[in-house]
A and B are shown apart, each in its own frame.
Chain A
Amino acid sequence: MRPSDLIQGTLDLLILKAVATEPRHGWAIAKRIEAVSGDVLQVKQGSLYPALHRLEQQGWLRADWRRNETGREAKFYSLTKAGRTQLVEEVTQWERLSKAIQLTLRNA
């Protein structure tokens, strides 16, 4: 697994997780990931928006235009049914992977 693959796959997972609780727009998704990760994970716009559009094309995210709290129109992404299944799967995958890495680091 090349580093970029890891990062891309992880970004998808983080995005899906960020919209799992409520629909959010791109900016909010980036902010949410930064906040929850304690500012460790910075999401660049250059990778965020292509990823959002890709996930939408794959049918895991649904997008619609709504007003935000200040009354501005923004594109809100929410999780589809298929997206929810995908999220569960990716979380399991990730946990298995990180457990394996931890085991390797501890015992090798």
Chain B
Amino acid sequence: MLQQWLDVVRLRLRTFFRRERVEAELDRELHFHLEQQALENVARGMTPHDARAAAQRSFGGMEHVKEDVRDVRGTAAVDHIVRDLRYTLRALVREPLFVLAAATSIALGVGGNLAVLSLAQEFLFAAPTVREPNQLVEIRQGGNSAASYRRWKDLNESGALSSVAGYSIERAVNWYSGTEVVSLIPMLVTANFFDATGVPLARGRGFSSGEADAERDPHVAVVSHSFWQGGLKGDSAVIGSVLMLNGEPYVIVGVLPDRLRSVSGYGISPQVYLPLSRSLTPDLAAPHASIVNLLGRLKPGQSLRSGRVELDAAARRLARIDGDTTMAGVQEFERNGIPRKILPFFVLLAVVSVLVLGIACANVAGLLLARATTRRREIAVRMALGASRMRLIQQLLVEGLWLALLGTAGGLAFSVVFMQFVNRVSLPVPVPIELHLAPNGVVLGGALGLMLLTILLCALAPALRATRVALAGALKQEEPRFTNRRFTMRGLLLTGQVTVSTILLVTAFLFVRNLARTQLADPGFEVAHTLVAQIGFVQSRSGVDRTAFLQSAVERVRALPGVRTAAYARGVPLTIRGGSTNGERVRFDGRTEAVHVQYARDVVGPDYFATLSIRLLGGREFVRSDEPGAPRVAIVNEEFARRYFDGQSPVGHRFRYAEHDAGDFEIVGLAANSKHRTIGEEQRPALYLPLAQHADGLEVAFVLVRTITDANVLIVPTREALGELDRSTAVEIRPMRSALAFALLPSQIGAAVLGSLGTLGLVLAMLGLYAVVSYTVSRRVSEIAIRVALGATYGRIIRLVIGDAAALVGLGLALGLAISLLVTRPFTMFLVAGLSASDPLSFGGTALALALVSLLASWIPARRVARIDPALAMRLE
């Protein structure tokens, strides 16, 4: 059985790859037969010459027999395809414009899809650079992304998994480069991090569990490849050299490889990896502090399921012992989990890019259909000569194959350029983002799949259509000249295209409008004339009174010419350090019942509201006497007053927390509303607290500077003024506008990506419309010539041609707008508050843009035909 099967495979392969040999053998076999016949004839008494001739006669057509044998052996199909490839290539070379239009369409459609595919791969599916990524799982407990240091340690020692490691990218350190102090965000890792994850090192080594024990205050560091090349200038003696961080020496023991994907995903690439330590994380021992994100490595042979069960049991057991119930039980336990937050955006991208490809294919299908019509006669002749419909369809598909091949190659090139571009873009975020988009197997596989899809979408329908011809009519080159059929296949395609591009354009418009809104939106505080100075304190020098330091910094800056006022704060609204969002049960004015309040919490200093031009509607600002030991005070905003004081002035009222006893707070001021977390947010209630009373654990603070004139001019003086205070603190000064860039990032990315895809769709659809109208017009030249001869005016002809196109476009537009109303509904989650998903301006703008562009696309060919000389046109026929 096996032997037979092997024989069969061997023969098939031989037939395919040794075609010439097989052909020669067939020839010899048949000639041998002929000779035998001739020999027999001679034996019967014929002359050798006659015998040969008779043998040939009785054999019949040698070629015919050969062809039948080839059919049996399956070589015929290969022959046909090779011949078709050559034939269609010759035909296509004669029509470079057609090929260019079709291949460009496909290239844009395929390229867009490959670009989205490569992004999705990087953001959704790329595994971190670790040993056996399949065995590594992300662990979240009880809704917390991070666990306490103690909990990490206990889980790691529980033996539920092979090992559990932890990392954190929350805290900043100050790096003294020798000339200046720069704030870096390191990846702080547990001692077993490198052992557990197997993150590779290019030079040196990772931390060993012994030397990196957090409780022994380790001072070792591993640096990223780009930090080594950039910040450390590629120093070849980097291993063993010293990095000054927070004023203390750290010995570099290793360098990470280039193009490393960190365990935190999203391309986040911290410059420095440091062991967790008491000096870097003073709250290390705190039982409930969120210190580390957990990663677990499964034991050899342990399934994901059993790993989860065992870890869950261990976590529950630990919670019973230490009472930390917020971390009881494993909530998420997954391999390289797909980030849920960005998944909807990628689904949207995927849908949009497939729609773009659809438009592109409709274009090419339209072009092929038009060509098929001009080739009716050729096809009819070949059918009359006996070519089967299957053979002709195959040939037309092969033609599609050439176009798809060319287009896909272009698309691939386009996507590679795109990837290079994206890898180089630097985003305004505090941790370096390094993306490693590359045309890998998945992208190439995707390209192949898209190519096949394109062939089917573009070429199949026109091929089926073109080979369904009435022979007699087509041979006489009769044309359905004065047809009045509205629903031709091309018309249908065009309507479909306009429908799809309407949907795309509405989406693009919505996101561009969203961006415009975000940029114009009033954050409720002064942006243009404000500088933001970020101050990173050195954690270990806890002796310094940080509030006093900030106070003197503010006073120094305030003394600079050109500065109106300045204030300090723990966070800057709309940046990543924008304060926290809290939910708390409080009791107002000594009442017994507790109310749940949800608010943005901002910890600020004196003159904060004056500095940011947030109006005070009642009461006062914080002042220097709101210090530790003084009565506790707070300021709330209008929204807070509206929700929890029924719009009455809250000034003078008191509240206290229901859950923990921190004493009474007196509300001393009422501030106007402003934005806190995102620029598009619904107005949040806000609670402001004086920094002097809430300074514990202060690592990073901001000095906000309100200038009288151009803010940029004051960057250098401010830096000098602050730098004189203390050389070991890192100070970074930026205009408020650039500090806010981060808040605009999501809307900018959304608008850029969808805007370009939408524009691509529009361009493609208009190319298609132009081609179809030009083609239709060229078929109607004689009809129009007759009309002109009979006295139709220029205007009438233009109206005639444009009218037909307008009917199709109008239908597509109406359909597209209707579908968009449904389709855009889920987009609300991406949009600024107040911008409706059925925003009339976006819909109206789309309709107007499409109408104008299609008018232009049909007017150009219409004008050409309307100027025709009837006598000349009639003679052409």
Given contacts A26-B33, A80-B7, contact A45 B65 (CB under 8 A): yes
Q: Which residue of A lies closest to B11 (CB)?
A: A57
**Which of these, A50, A65, A74, contacts B68 with CB under 8 Å?**
A50
Asked whether any CB of chain B lies closer than 8 Å to the CB of A54, the reply is: yes
The CA of A81 and the CA of B1, in the complex, are separated in Å by: 9
Q: Which residue of B lies closest to A82 (CB)?
A: B4
Asked whether any CB of chain A lies closer than 8 Å to the CB of B477, the reply is: no
Chain A stretch 14-68: residues in CB contact (< 8 A) with chain B: 25-27, 44-46, 49-50, 53-54, 56-59, 62, 65
Q: Which residue of A lies closest to B35 (CB)?
A: A72
Given contacts A45-B33, A45-B65, contact A53 B3 (CB under 8 A): no
Q: Which residues of B sit under 8 angstroms from A65, Cβ to Cβ? A: 25
Q: Is the CB of A57 within 8 A of B73?
A: yes
Q: Is the CB of B73 within 8 A of A53?
A: yes
Chain B: minimal CB distance from A67 (Å): 12
Q: Bits for B12-29, please: 1 = Cβ < 8 Å to A, else 0.
A: 100100000000011011
Q: Which residues of A sit under 8 angstroms from B64, Cβ to Cβ? A: 46
Q: Is the CB of A27 within 8 A of B11?
A: no
Taking each of B29, B59, B64, B69, which has the highest tally of chain A beta carbons within 10 Å of its own beta carbon?
Answer: B29
Q: Is the CB of B65 within 8 A of A46?
A: yes
Q: Which residues of A sit under 8 angstroms from B5, Cβ to Cβ? A: 59
Given contacts A45-B60, A53-B69, contact A73 B28 (CB under 8 A): yes
Asked whether any CB of chain A lies closer than 8 Å to the CB of B36, the reply is: yes
Interface size on B, residues (CB 8 A): 30
Chain A: minimal CB distance from B251 (Å): 71
Chain B: minimal CB distance from A26 (Å): 6
Q: Is the CB of A49 within 8 A of B69?
A: yes
The CA of A45 and the CA of B56, in the complex, are separated in Å by: 11
Asked whether any CB of chain A lies closer than 8 Å to the CB of B387, the reply is: no
The CA of A62 and the CA of B10, in the complex, are separated in Å by: 12
The CA of A53 and the CA of B29, in the complex, are separated in Å by: 11
Q: Is the CB of A27 within 8 A of B72?
A: no
Q: Which residue of A lies closest to B8 (CB)?
A: A59
**Which of these, A46, A59, A82, contacts B60 with CB under 8 Å?**
A46
The CA of A27 and the CA of B59, in the complex, are separated in Å by: 12
Q: Which residue of B lies closest to A51 (CB)?
A: B72
Chain A: minimal CB distance from B711 (Å): 83
Chain B: minimal CB distance from A52 (Å): 8
Q: Is the CB of B4 within 8 A of A49?
A: no
Q: Which residues of B sit under 8 angstroms from A56, Cβ to Cβ? A: 11
Q: Is the CB of A59 within 8 A of B7?
A: yes
B interface, over-half SS: helix
Taking each of A45, A49, A73, A74, which has the highest tally of chain B beta carbons within 10 Å of its own beta carbon?
Answer: A45
Chain B: minimal CB distance from A99 (Å): 30
Asked whether any CB of chain A lies closer than 8 Å to the CB of B32, the reply is: yes
Chain A stretch 68-89: residues in CB contact (< 8 A) with chain B: 72-75, 80-82
Asked whether any CB of chain A lies closer than 8 Å to the CB of B248, the reply is: no
Q: Which residues of A sit under 8 angstroms from B69, Cβ to Cβ? A: 49-50, 53
Q: Is the CB of A57 within 8 A of B32?
A: no
**Which of these, A44, A57, A74, A80, contacts B72 with CB under 8 Å?**
A57
Q: Which residue of B lies closest to A62 (CB)?
A: B7
Q: Which residues of B sit under 8 angstroms from A75, Cβ to Cβ? A: 25, 28-29, 32
Q: Is the CB of A80 within 8 A of B65?
A: no
Q: Bits for B657-669, please: 1 = Cβ < 8 Å to A, else 0.
A: 0000000000000
Q: Which residues of A sit under 8 angstroms from B132, Cβ to Cβ? A: none
Q: Is the CB of A57 within 8 A of B65?
A: no
Chain B: minimal CB distance from A65 (Å): 8
Q: Is the CB of B7 within 8 A of A26?
A: no
Q: Which residue of B lies closest to A25 (CB)?
A: B32
The CA of A88 and the CA of B30, in the complex, are separated in Å by: 29
Q: Is the CB of B8 within 8 A of A50?
A: no
Q: Is the CB of A27 within 8 A of B8?
A: no
The CA of A74 and the CA of B28, in the complex, are separated in Å by: 8
Chain A: minimal CB distance from B28 (Å): 7
Asked whether any CB of chain A lies closer than 8 Å to the CB of B71, the reply is: yes
Chain A: minimal CB distance from B65 (Å): 5
Asked whether any CB of chain A lies closer than 8 Å to the CB of B37, the reply is: yes
The CA of A59 and the CA of B2, in the complex, are separated in Å by: 11
Chain B stretch 32-80: residues in CB contact (< 8 A) with chain A: 32-33, 35-37, 59-61, 64-65, 68-69, 71-74
Q: What are the 5 closest A-B residue pairs judged by CB atoms, nearest first?
A: A59-B4, A27-B36, A82-B4, A50-B68, A54-B72
Q: A45-B65, A74-B29 are in contact. List 19 more A-B contacts (CB 8 A).
A: A25-B32, A26-B29, A46-B61, A49-B26, A49-B69, A50-B68, A50-B69, A53-B72, A57-B8, A57-B12, A57-B15, A59-B4, A59-B5, A62-B7, A65-B25, A73-B28, A75-B28, A80-B7, A81-B4
What are 15 residue pairs bridging A and B, where the CB atoms are less than 8 Å apart in the complex? A25-B32, A26-B32, A27-B37, A45-B33, A45-B59, A45-B65, A49-B30, A50-B65, A53-B69, A57-B11, A57-B12, A57-B15, A58-B8, A59-B5, A82-B1
